């Protein structure tokens, strides 16, 4: 240390400028030792804080949920008649299973107005919501009442044993053009 | 060493002392000079400006309060005392809330029955629960009235604009306290109110799975989004109850309490309660 100071003193004397030794020191290194430790300390602190925030965010999403599975089996395709709306699963799973000439699709029994469960009126061939009178055609298209968009369709597939599998966590929305997408209808 | 034994006073001398008031003076002197007293009360009652200042600034409970206030700050017509009433109601909910915590368990199987137990089988339980509930309702009303008053009197203007923003955070936390507390009775009203309330989180921009721009955020799905983080699953179930309980009893009160300290301190630093022009 003593040597450097004397060297710097010599330099400053030689250059005849009145710069302080500290300024010279900061000239030939990017950071002083104090700067380096300060920056390293803060960087470490912020990194720890940032990482623990990430860990905490991930912690809030457990790997296992003790909830009913959104996936359920709904029998064989031959259980459903062409042109009919099956109300077999409306009580337990809140869905209607509809078969037309092309295949089978699933209509979610949740009114798109305020979330009540509509009823299938077989004589009038429509879903009717008891809360505010929204009406939907057989495929779920809204045609009367306050509902702003059609009922949602849910994912339907066939498992290797030929049994219908319905996944309620995957929705198909008409207004997004998703009704024709793979999984929205089981073609037979 | 022969020390003199302290004389045991006879009953007659005691009575005489009591009659003359000498005993009272002696006891008073003894108490006022005791270490316990002098370390607790460091200033007398002298009604001088200096002593009054000392009484305030040397007391941790009083020092947040200004030493002196403007005469207009006492005018109820100007402040409505709404901020003070809100704080008082907050303190009531803290006290009654802690008492309720002695009986309430935030578990799906127990929560509703603990609430009923508090109401019908715990002495004064009904009183505590109702005080907590009504103070909470009243606090929501008074906090809005306080905001309304501050707006009408223009007290949000510089130099008080920082405190206005703190106040906006506080009104938000008041509403969140109300919302999280709403679930805890664990009855049908609570279940469906919170179902509807948290369904709104589906539409959070970027972070809700049905919200705008969610397609630009990696991994957002019904299973991993703002709503499932809030309720710890996809339905309002026991995990949601526990989460709301922790938010209601620990997290939000701590944050709101810290903000309240800043809020009250800033009133003083920004020149006290604003006055009529």
Domain match, A95 and A176 both: yes
Domain match, A119 and A55 both: no
Q: What string of DSSP letters covers B68-130?
A: S--GGGG-HHHHTTHHHHHHHHHHHHHHHHHHHHTT---STTTHHHHHHHHHHTSTTHHHHHH
pTM of the model: 0.79
How many angstroms away from the CA of A48 is the closest CA of chain B?
21
User: Which secondary-structure segment (H or E) carries B12?
Assistant: helix B11-20
Chain A's closest residue to B195, CA to CA, is A115
**Is A3 or A115 the better-scoring residue by pLDDT?**
A115
pLDDT on residue B274: 81
pLDDT at A23 over 60: no
Nearest to B235 among A60, A61, A67 (CB): A67
Tell me what the pLDDT averaged over chain B comes to: 91
Is the CB of A67 inside 8 Å of chain B's CB atoms?
A: yes
Domains and their CATH numbers in chain B: 76-269 (1.20.810.10)
Is the CB of B234 inside 8 Å of chain A's CB atoms?
A: yes
pLDDT average, residue stretch B1-10: 72
CATH of the domain at A179: 2.102.10.10
What pLDDT digit, counting tens, does each position of A120-179 carry?
999 999 999 999 999 999 999 999 999 999 999 999 999 999 999 999 988 999 999 999
How many angstroms away from the CA of B214 is the closest CA of chain A?
14
Task: Indicate whether A13 belongs to any domain.
Answer: no
Is the CB of A70 inside 8 Å of chain B's CB atoms?
A: yes
Task: Indicate whether A43 belongs to any domain.
Answer: yes
Domain match, A51 and A86 both: no
Domain match, A152 and A78 both: yes
Domain match, A167 and A91 both: yes
Task: Indicate whether A50 belongs to any domain.
Answer: yes
What pLDDT digit, counting tens, does each position of B219-262 carry?
898 889 999 999 999 889 999 999 999 999 999 999 999 999 99
Task: Indicate whether A10 belongs to any domain.
Answer: no
Q: What are the tokens at B244?
A: 């709301």
Give B139's pLDDT tier (boundaries 50, 70, 90).
very high
Q: What is the total count of domains within chain A?
A: 2
Tell me what the pLDDT averaged over chain A comes to: 87
pLDDT on residue B96: 97
Task: Indicate whether A6 belongs to any domain.
Answer: no
**Is B54 or A53 the better-scoring residue by pLDDT?**
A53
How many angstroms away from the CA of A61 is the closest CA of chain B?
6
Query: Packing angle between helix B161-183 and helix B238-246, nearest 10 degrees?
Result: 150
**Is A69 or B129 the better-scoring residue by pLDDT?**
B129
**Is B246 or A9 the better-scoring residue by pLDDT?**
B246
Domain match, A47 and A131 both: no
Domain match, A88 and A147 both: yes
pLDDT average, residue stretch B68-83: 87
Task: Indicate whether A32 belongs to any domain.
Answer: yes
Is the CB of B232 inside 8 Å of chain A's CB atoms?
A: yes
Residues A159, A165 contacting (CB under 8 angstroms): yes
Task: Indicate whether A180 belongs to any domain.
Answer: yes
Is the CB of B212 inside 8 Å of chain A's CB atoms?
A: no
Are the Cβ atoms of B228 and A61 closer than 8 angstroms? yes
Are the Cβ atoms of B223 and A67 closer than 8 angstroms? no
Are the Cβ atoms of A65 and B233 closer than 8 angstroms? yes
Residues 6+ apart with CB under 8 A from B43: B51, B54, B55, B58
Is the link from the previous residue into A24 a cis peptide, with omega within 30 of 0?
no
Domain match, A158 and A104 both: yes
Chain B's closest residue to A60, CA to CA, is B229
Domain match, A118 and A181 both: yes
Are the Cβ atoms of A169 and B229 closer than 8 angstroms? no
What ipTM was estimated for this complex? 0.74
Residues A155, A184 contacting (CB under 8 angstroms): yes
What pLDDT digit, counting tens, does each position of A63-88 carry?
999 988 889 999 999 999 999 999 99
How many angstroms away from the CA of B202 is the closest CA of chain A?
13
Domain match, A113 and A173 both: yes
pLDDT at B120 over 90: yes
Chain B interface, best mutation among A53, A54, A60, by max B CB count within 10 A: A60
**Owning domain of residue A53:** 20-63
How many angstroms away from the CA of B228 is the closest CA of chain A?
8
Total residue count of chain B as it appears in this document: 277
Chain A's closest residue to B235, CA to CA, is A67
What pLDDT digit, counting tens, does each position of B27-43 carry?
999 999 999 998 888 88
Task: Indicate whether A9 belongs to any domain.
Answer: no
Domain match, A33 and A123 both: no
């Amino acid at each position: 240390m003593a040597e450097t100071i004397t060297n710097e003193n010599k330099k400053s004397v030689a250059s005849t400028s009145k710069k302080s030794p500290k300024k010279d020191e900061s000239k030939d290194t990017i950071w002083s030792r104090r700067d380096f430790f300060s920056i390293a300390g803060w960087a470490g602190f912020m990194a720890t804080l940032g990482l623990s925030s990430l860990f905490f965010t991930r912690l809030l999403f457990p790997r296992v949920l003790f909830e009913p599975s959104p996936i359920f089996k709904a029998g064989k395709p031959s259980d459903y008649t062409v042109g009919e709306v099956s109300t077999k699963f409306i009580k337990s799973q809140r869905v209607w299973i509809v078969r037309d000439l092309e295949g089978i699709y699933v209509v979610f029994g949740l009114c798109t107005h305020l979330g009540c469960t509509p009823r299938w009126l077989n004589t009038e061939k429509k879903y009717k919501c008891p809360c505010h009178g929204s009406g939907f055609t057989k495929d779920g298209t809204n045609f009367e009442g306050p509902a702003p968009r059609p009922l949602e369709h849910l994912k339907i597939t066939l498992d290797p044993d030929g049994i219908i599998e319905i996944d309620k966590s995957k929705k198909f929305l008409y207004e997004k053009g998703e009704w024709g997408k793979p999984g929205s209808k089981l073609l037979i | 060493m022969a020390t003199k034994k302290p004389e045991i006073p006879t009953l007659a001398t005691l009575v005489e002392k009591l009659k003359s008031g000498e005993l009272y003076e002696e006891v008073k002197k003894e108490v006022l000079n005791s270490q316990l007293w002098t370390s607790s009360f460091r200033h007398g009652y002298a009604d001088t400006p200096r002593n009054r200042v000392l009484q305030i600034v040397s007391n941790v409970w009083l020092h947040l309060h200004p030493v002196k206030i403007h005469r207009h700050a006492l005018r109820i017509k100007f402040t409505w005392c709404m901020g003070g009433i809100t704080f008082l109601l907050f303190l009531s909910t803290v006290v009654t809330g802690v008492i309720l915590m002695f009986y309430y368990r935030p578990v799906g199987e127990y929560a509703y029955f603990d609430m009923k137990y508090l109401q019908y089988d715990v002495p004064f339980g009904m009183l505590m629960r109702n005080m907590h509930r009504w103070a909470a309702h009243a606090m929501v009303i008074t906090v809005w009235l306080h905001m309304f008053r501050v707006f009408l009197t223009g007290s949000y203007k510089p130099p008080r604009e920082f405190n206005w923003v703190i106040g906006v955070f506080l009104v938000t936390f008041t509403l969140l306290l109300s919302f999280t507390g709403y679930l805890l009775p664990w009855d049908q009203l609570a279940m469906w109110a919170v179902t509807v309330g948290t369904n709104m989180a589906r539409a959070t921009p970027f972070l809700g799975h049905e919200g705008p721009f969610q397609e630009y955020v990696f991994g957002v799905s019904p299973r991993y989004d703002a709503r499932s983080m809030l309720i710890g699953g996809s339905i309002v179930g026991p995990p949601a109850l526990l989460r709301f309980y922790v938010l209601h009893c620990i997290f939000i009160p701590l944050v709101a309490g810290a903000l309240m300290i800043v809020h009250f301190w800033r009133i003083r630093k920004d020149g006290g309660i604003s006055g009529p022009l």
